[in-house]
Amino acid sequence: MAKRITIIQGHPDAQARHFDHALADEYAKGCEDGGHEVRRIEVAQLQFPLLRTKEEFEKDRPPDSIREAQDAIAWADHLVIIYPLWFGSMPALLDAFFEQTFRPGFAFEYDESGRFPKKRLTGKSARIVVTMGMPAFVYRWFFLSHGLKNLQRNILGFCGISPVRSTLIGSIEGLTERQRDDWLDEARGLGQLGR
């Protein structure tokens, strides 16, 4: 069954291409091969300010770039989020993007008590692809994937997105060309399946 898929490419470097960009490209090609519709959000290309107060988060109107991203997320059945691991979590720019995008009224809304938010993104699934310098098993077992779990549970899950699957690509600087090609093939295959 064809899906609507939005790829969020979260590498913060807008000046150069990285392996994360190649993964997003191959995933998109796989989507097209599988008959899925695809939209892309390149976070590094967006212009938006940091949120600094609760009032800004809850009441300010998002900038146009964020509203366009919200439209692409609302449109999608499935989200794919690709980013490099920085200091054990997502880069600050991607975190700021989620703060701007997943606001009350879009991703969730407060009930009358203000204590039990209603999830507004239910019915969507996601895959998170994380590249990292350390071996992936070290991130999983020693660091307990803490940054990944924050995105899975405290951001996506909080808004109703489920299931959220993950792909961890470790030792990125030491990968051979064959290993890189294998990961690109994997991304393309996941795109074809819409997973």
**Phi-psi map region of 80: left, alpha, beta (phi>0 left; psi -120 to 50 alpha):** beta
What CATH number should be reported for the domain holding residue 106? 3.40.50.360
Q: Domain count for the chain, please give it.
A: 1
Q: What domain range includes position 96?
A: 4-193
Say whether 32 sits in a helix, a strand or coil: helix
- Specify the pLDDT at position 181: 98
Distance from C-alpha of 44 to C-alpha of 28, rounded to nearest angstrom: 18
- Stretch among 6-15, 112-121, 156-165 having the lowest mean pLDDT: 112-121
- Specify the pLDDT at position 114: 65
Burial label for 35, CB within 10 Å (0-12, 13-18, 19+), is exposed
pLDDT above 80 (res 139):
yes
Confidence class of residue 1 from pLDDT cuts 50, 70 and 90? Answer: confident
pLDDT tens profile 74-92: 999 999 999 999 999 999 9
**pTM for the full model?**
0.95
Q: Identify the residue with better confidence: 142 or 76.
A: 76
pLDDT above 90 (res 95):
yes
pLDDT above 80 (res 23):
yes
Distance from C-alpha of 158 to C-alpha of 111, rounded to nearest angstrom: 14
Q: Identify the residue with better confidence: 82 or 114.
A: 82
- Specify the pLDDT at position 58: 87
